[in-house]
Amino acid sequence: MFILLQSFLLLLTSLLYYKGSTNPNLSSKDDYTPSEGLGSKYAVKLMPQIGQLFVWSSTLYQSLYLFLQAFSPTAITMFFPQASASVHLLSLTSISMVGYLLMIVGGLGRLWCYRTLGRFFTFEITIRNSHKLIKTGPYAYVRHPSYTFAFMLTTGMFLVHRRIANFFPDTYRLKGFMLSPVCAVTFCVVFYLLLLKRVTTEEKALAKAFGKEWNEYTSKTKRFIPTIM
């Protein structure tokens, strides 16, 4: 039962991460895309792909371990030299459960935002010729719900897949750091600061495009969390 639950959660959250980090619409040459710098342009295209590659690789690796744990424990050390047939390296802890929950809520939330914005949702900051300011669905409560859900999805991914460090040799210097609370906090802070920088650029473009309508909208909503921030 434990193996089936872990395998199901790994597959479900990996699919949600893939969908939630895949650009639903591409910008065209006729769209206005404010400059975010060369680095940001590459980041929009490459970072999601790197994240997806890591998640799928980690999922396959963990799934193999879970399969062997269930059906051939004695063969574990053949594929995982640091593992032991008697010690489970992928226990379903409170931290991993929080990670799974964040990934599920974050992934479903991202899909909700995709559906609400429709063709206006792009990974590049884009103002289309017929752009409309959407204020329904999750956007009725906050201005940037997709970033809130992205933060949840990515933080959850980190909490779930950092367990891959359990398979690293004990002599690997980064192993202890990757499994420590300091690493988790550092990851969250850096990711939040990157989101904040992007939001600033995006809001300038929206203010320029929608003027008074945007100002009225911002006076009634917060950026990420209703009534808080």
* pLDDT string in tens for the chain (229-residue length): 677 888 899 999 999 999 999 999 877 766 666 656 544 666 777 889 999 999 999 999 889 888 888 788 777 777 777 665 555 668 788 999 999 999 999 999 999 999 999 989 988 888 888 889 999 999 999 999 999 999 999 999 999 999 888 777 776 777 777 888 898 899 899 989 988 888 998 999 899 989 999 999 999 999 999 988 8
Domain residue ranges of the chain, discontinuous segments joined by + = 2-220
Q: 139, 145 in Cβ contact below 8 A?
A: yes
Q: CA nearest 209: which of 36, 33, 58? A: 33
Beta bridge partners of 84: 87
Q: CA nearest 205: which of 119, 131, 111, 115? A: 131
Is the domain covering 2-220 a CATH 1.20.120 domain?
yes
